[in-house]
Structure 1
Amino acid sequence: MTTTGREDERSSSSEVGVGVYLYGIVPADVQVSDEARGVGDPSAAVSLVRHGEVGALVSELTLDRPLGTPDDLMAHERLLDATAAEVPVLPIRFGAVMTSSEAVVEELLAPHHDDFRSALEELDGRAEYVVKARYVEQAVLREVLEEQPAVAELREQIRSLPEDASREARIQLGEIVNQAVSAKREADTQALAEALAPVSVLTSVREPTHEQDAAHIALLVELDRQDDLEEALERFASRWEGRVQIRLLGPLAPYDFIVTPAG
């Protein structure tokens, strides 16, 4: 991010009814863009509260303002992700507010200074990427039917029965298919994670967010290895063509690998 600090703007954070909203920890020499905006009033600029070799990205927030809308969360993540593409950042969990810039220094930056500095050094030149792979519904169902003849037979039985009479059979079929897809997800996630391990520093398997998820993996990757990551995914996309659709998100702030205390 680019710009100068905004010391005079931060001084008003101690006024009654105004707090300091926290985004993340960055090196103290980071400069924040004049155009950077975060949570709350669109006119509220983001600035940096510095202490030693670290700093906290913050903005002023009216304390009587409701906090927690989808727009607030998107603004929080948007700022952190844009930062992570340029400099190391330790994300602070969404919704963290402190009383003043002085409190940010005294309660957050000073007590954790050395830990923050070390973590930032570890993250230098790295960012998080998320791989989301989702099964093509008809393709994965076809695989299950081919691999488990009993499922195909049960499916045919259900077709010949009235809806009320087939209720238990439909429940049983759903359970069997779900178990089969879960087993495939586990195997496919492991295969994908192993294939991406050589181009990543750390890997974290996320819980599925959809019943048709084939894999959901967070990776900590060197920024200069993004091309290698994309090439590895392209190979898998070709291998899984027509069966699984793959998306790559990033660079992102390292949410899955480190989250700072909120004070």
Structure 2
Amino acid sequence: MAAPEQAPDAQEERAVGCYVYGILPGDVEVSPDARGLRDGDVDLVRHGRIAALVSEIRTGSPIGRPEDLTTHQRLLDEAAVEVPVLPLRFGAVLTSREAVEDELLAANHDQFLAALNEMEGRVEYVLKGRYEERAVLREILAEVPEAARLREEIHGRLEELTRDARIRLGEVINQAISSKREADTQRAVQALSGHAVATVLREPTHHEDAVQTAFLVETEQRQQFEKAVEEFAREWQGRVSLRLLGPMAPYDFVITPRPGG
């Protein structure tokens, strides 16, 4: 009688790895109710004066759902309000706790410790702004003669008869928005950099983005920074819609080695 077909290797299915969220000072403690990816227990792997924030995860389980990224960021952002944090890239998995200690912590101990000292008492904020479409179009038509001429040329005429003019108008508007974005980003940085210790300009993610800038802020200056953003937002009311994200871990100000790399 033929032997029954074997199920997939159960041991392989149950294999677990160690998911790493970020690097913290070695003397911190994790809240007992902290939950990680897939509602897993969160723990610390320590080495010397640093520690890795980790949780177990099944190695055969794909990582990348929106809730996975949200959990990754939530844990780091909550920790960053209390202690310095070095975020690791989303999706960092090592084979075991021993690998985390040997390949990540021991191999980079001094570099991580220096970076943690630099981030002590600092958090990140990200300022995002998007132009109000009608407002920015009015500005462009008033400031760019070619845009106004092309708009008049196509007004009330069939699309197939004005295709070239419409394409050119789109190009002119995009160029004008790009110039405005550069100028407005500098305005935002000048208005807020006095309340921050560093800034990083982010690439736009939408063609109507007015500003995307990360600010590294002293924890003691958080209230003043947030108030300054509120005042700046009033200046742009009706022109640019602003959102302030944070406080969060310093994603834009820390570069950590890839685990195992």
TM-score by length of 2: 0.91
User: Is there any run of 5+ residues in structure 1 with no aligned partner, and where?
Assistant: 1-14
Q: Which letter does structure 1 place at the counterpart of 2:29?
A: Q
Structure 1 runs (4+) deviating above 3 angstroms are: none
Q: How does 1:200-219 map to 2 (within 5 A)?
A: 200-219=196-215
Q: CA deviation at 1:154?
A: 1.1
- The residue that corresponds to 1:233 in the other structure is 229
- The residue that corresponds to 2:25 in the other structure is 27
Q: CA deviation at 1:150?
A: 2.7
Distance 1:180 1:154 in 2: 14
- The residue that corresponds to 2:251 in the other structure is 255
Q: Per the alignment, in what secondary structure is the counterpart of residue 161 of structure 2? A: coil
Q: Per the alignment, in what secondary structure is the counterpart of residue 160 of structure 2? A: coil
Q: How does 1:153-232 map to 2 (within 5 A)?
A: 153-232=149-228
Contact 1:93–1:259 (CA<8 Å) still a contact in 2? no
Between Structure 1 and Structure 2, how many residues are aligned? 247
Deviation string 1:86-132 (CA, Å, 9 cap, x unpaired) is: 11100010111111111111111111111111111111110110001
Give the one of 49, 53, 65 matched to 2:49. 53
- The residue that corresponds to 2:89 in the other structure is 93
Q: CA deviation at 1:61?
A: 0.5
User: Is there any run of 5+ residues in structure 2 with no aligned partner, and where?
Assistant: 1-12
Q: CA deviation at 1:16?
A: 6.3
- The residue that corresponds to 2:6 in the other structure is none
Cα RMSD after superposing both structures: 1.3
- The residue that corresponds to 2:102 in the other structure is 106
Q: Per the alignment, in what secondary structure is the counterpart of residue 37 of structure 2? A: coil
Q: Per the alignment, in what secondary structure is the counterpart of residue 250 of structure 1? A: strand
Q: Which letter does structure 1 place at the counterpart of 2:48?
A: G
Distance 1:210 1:137 in 2: 12
Q: Which letter does structure 2 place at the counterpart of 1:218?
A: A
Contact 1:67–1:95 (CA<8 Å) still a contact in 2? yes
TM-score by length of 1: 0.91
- The residue that corresponds to 2:5 in the other structure is none
Distance 1:39 1:260 in 2: 21
